[in-house]
Amino acid sequence: METTIRIAIQKSGRLSEDSTKLIKECGIKFTNGTGKLKSTATNFPIEFLFLRDDDIPGYVADGVADIGIVGRNVQEEKQKNVKLEKNLGFSKCRLSLAVPRNKPYAGLSDFQGASIATSYPVILSAFLKEKGIEADIHEISGSVEIAPSIGLADAVCDIVSSGSTLLSNGLVEVETVFHSEAVLISNPVLDIEKQKILDKLLFRIDAVQFGKNNKYILLNAPNESIDEIISLLPGMKSPTVLPLAIGGWSSIHSVVNEDDFWQVIENLKQAGAQGILVVPIEKMVL
Ligand code: PRT
Ligand code: ZN
Element (H, E) at 136: strand 136-139
Q: Atom 19, ligand 1: which residue's CA is nearest?
A: 71
Ligand 1 neighbour 78 (Cβ under 6 A) = no
Centre of ligand 2 from the C-alpha of residue 267, in Å: 47
Ligand 1 neighbour 243 (Cβ under 6 A) = no
Q: What is the pLDDT of residues 182-233, one digit of tens each?
A: 999 999 999 999 999 999 999 999 999 999 999 999 999 999 999 999 999 8
Ligand nearest to the CA of 19: 1
Ligand nearest to the CA of 9: 1
> Are 249 and 173 a contacting pair, CB within 8 Å?
no
User: What residue type is assigned to position 113 of the chain?
Assistant: G
Which of the four pLDDT bands, split at 50, 70 and 90, describes residue 124?
very high
Centre of ligand 2 from the C-alpha of residue 68, in Å: 14
Distance of alpha carbon 188 from alpha carbon 82, whole angstroms:
6
Ligand 1 neighbour 93 (Cβ under 6 A) = yes
Taking residues 124-132, report their average pLDDT.
98
pLDDT at position 237, please? 72
Taking residues 177-186, report their average pLDDT.
98
Choose among 277, 279, 274: nearest CA to 223.
Answer: 274
DSSP letter string, 35-47: T--EEE-SSSSEE
Q: Is the pLDDT of residue 235 over 70?
A: no
Q: pTM of whole model > 0.75? A: yes
Q: What is the pLDDT of residues 57-92, one digit of tens each?
A: 999 999 999 999 999 999 999 999 999 999 999 999
Ligand 1 neighbour 169 (Cβ under 6 A) = no
Q: How many CA atoms lie within 13 A of 149 on its CB side?
A: 12
Nearest-5° Cα angle at 184, 181 to 188: 135
- Tell me the best of 161, 166, 167 to mutate to test the pocket of ligand 1, counting ligand atoms within 8 Å of each CB and taking the most: 161
3-state secondary structure string across 231-273: HHCCCCCCCEEEECCCCCEEEEEEEEEHHHHHHHHHHHHHCCC
**Full strand arrangement of the beta sheet holding 214-222:** 240-243, 249-257, 214-222, 274-280
Q: In this prediction, what percent of the chain has a pLDDT beyond 70? A: 99
Query: Partners of 50 in the beta sheet?
Result: 9
Taking residues 95-105, report their average pLDDT.
96
